[in-house]
Chain A
Amino acid sequence: MRKVDFTYNKTDNQSDIVTAIKANDNSVLKSIYTTNYHKIEVLVLKNNGTKDHAKDIYQDAFLAVWKNVKQDKFTPQSESAIHGYLYTIAKNKWMDYLRSKDYKKTIVSDQINDFNATVTDSEATDDDILKEHRLQGVMQAFKDLGEPCKSLLKQFYFDKKSMKDIANELQLDAASTRNKKYRCMQKLREIALKIEK
């Protein structure tokens, strides 16, 4: 038997892909993203949309899939389950858009064809809407957060770099780096609170 000596605890495909997504593994996320885009582009272009629409709707859907896997709301049994799920969410989002007031203002509804599916995004409760609103606020705040705070927080929370590595890069000791990270969080929170108001 051949073995690679830096093996990890590999259980099965399912947890592999979930683990990779939860760890924000760049190559896995990129591969899922690039594999599925064309199908959505074809769908949107066939249904009164443009390439820009396709990209927006697809990125929204991709973020939703990532978030649901992360929060264990969706546990894919295989990689192809993710592909199917991503397609369904993107398709629903595009349908929602076509039904929305924004769209109907400009287009008569009988031009909307090819859609038979009736599944809509899971029914959102007030609580969900509030949570989503808060999340959008933090995202906007993080977008506006200046450097070096943005990089520091991204490295720790998104790239999952260790505190030690970040401290080394910044040429700081561990305690100062942790304090810096804390102050960056406070700054982010302040901006988010202003946006929420």
Chain B
Amino acid sequence: MNPNTNISQELLETVDRYINETMSIDELETFENKLKNDSAFKTQVDDIKTLLLGIESQSLKEELENFHNEIPQNLVEKKSAKVRFLQFRKIAVAASLVIALGSFWFFNQNSNDKLFANYFSPDPGLATTMGENSNYEFYDAMVNYKQGDYNTAISKWQQLQSIKPENDTLNYFLGVAHLANSNENKAIIHLEKTTMQAKSAFINEAYYYLGLAYLKTNNLQLAKKNLTFSTIENSKALLSELND
């Protein structure tokens, strides 16, 4: 770096704009011409670029320590070690308890619950893709959702939703996640918000899950009403079972 020239605030901010690609076409043209023809200017700009690259490189280098701590450690070993501690007898007792409780629950649930159980499966979710920042948080939560970690997904989406309270996509997935998490009343609030937006891409699914949510709360009237609005096959089938 050249210690003899000084860098002005104006020049620094010009280079910021150049790097962030926020220059107007005119400004960009003038800037690039000057780079070509004025070698002192070019040296100054290169110095600034080196500073910026240094800041980013060192920041990333420090971040790598955090990444390193998040490398999954020999999962297989840990798993097999754990199983050894559980004795077969304990597993058998636990299994029979689960079966007993399960069948008790199965034979005792009322017909609405049964219908709900037959028809409800959580939305498969959206394909998670690489994107920009705000999407990242959304898709990050989507990964949790797909893994069945509804609580984490809900808390992440909730934060995004506080910024965009009426967003139909967020409300839809919050609704489905709450429903999958056996929290029908919260599901209803979010799904209602999605159905408010007639043009939403999720409108048919939203009505269907809303119908299911009302079915779970034994509110047959609203369940039927919402199911009629959905064009999904399952919705029609469930509706005809309810009308029988």
**A and B are partners in one complex rather than unrelated chains:** yes
Contacts of A141 in B (CB 8 A): 54
Q: Mark B1-12, 1 if CB is under 8 A from A, else 0.
A: 101000101001
Q: From A27, A153, A188, give the contact of B136 (CB < 8 A).
A: A27
CA of A158 to CA of B52, assembled, Å: 9
> Is B110's beta carbon under 8 Å from chain A?
no
Chain B interface, number of residues (Cβ within 8 angstroms):
44
> Is B50's beta carbon under 8 Å from chain A?
yes
CA of A80 to CA of B220, assembled, Å: 51
Q: A16-B131, A138-B53, A154-B55 are in contact. Are A5 and B167 (CB under 8 A)?
A: yes
Chain A contact residues: over half helix, strand or loop, or mixed? helix
Which residues A14-30 have CB closer than 8 A to chain B? Answer: 16-17, 19-20, 23-30
CA of A140 to CA of B201, assembled, Å: 51
Chain A interface, number of residues (Cβ within 8 angstroms):
58
> Is B202's beta carbon under 8 Å from chain A?
yes
Q: Tell me the nearest residue of chain B to A163, going by C-beta.
A: B16
Tell whether, in the assembled complex, residue A24 and residue B167 are in contact, meaning their CB atoms are under 8 Å apart. Answer: no
Contacts of B51 in A (CB 8 A): 138, 185, 188-189, 192
Q: Mark B31-63, 1 if CB is under 8 A from A, else 0.
A: 000000000000000010011111111111111
Tell whether, in the assembled complex, residue A23 and residue B132 are in contact, meaning their CB atoms are under 8 Å apart. Answer: yes
Tell whether, in the assembled complex, residue A192 and residue B54 are in contact, meaning their CB atoms are under 8 Å apart. Answer: yes
Tell whether, in the assembled complex, residue A30 and residue B169 are in contact, meaning their CB atoms are under 8 Å apart. Answer: no
> Is A129's beta carbon under 8 Å from chain B?
no
Other A-B pairs beyond A20-B132, A34-B70, A142-B54, 10, CB < 8 Å: A8-B131, A17-B130, A24-B56, A26-B63, A63-B64, A70-B53, A137-B54, A154-B59, A185-B51, A193-B1
Interface, chain A (partner B; CB < 8 A): 1-8, 10, 13, 16-17, 19-20, 23-30, 33-34, 37-38, 55, 59, 62-63, 66-67, 70, 79, 131, 134-135, 137-143, 153-154, 157-158, 178-179, 182, 185-186, 188-189, 192-193, 196
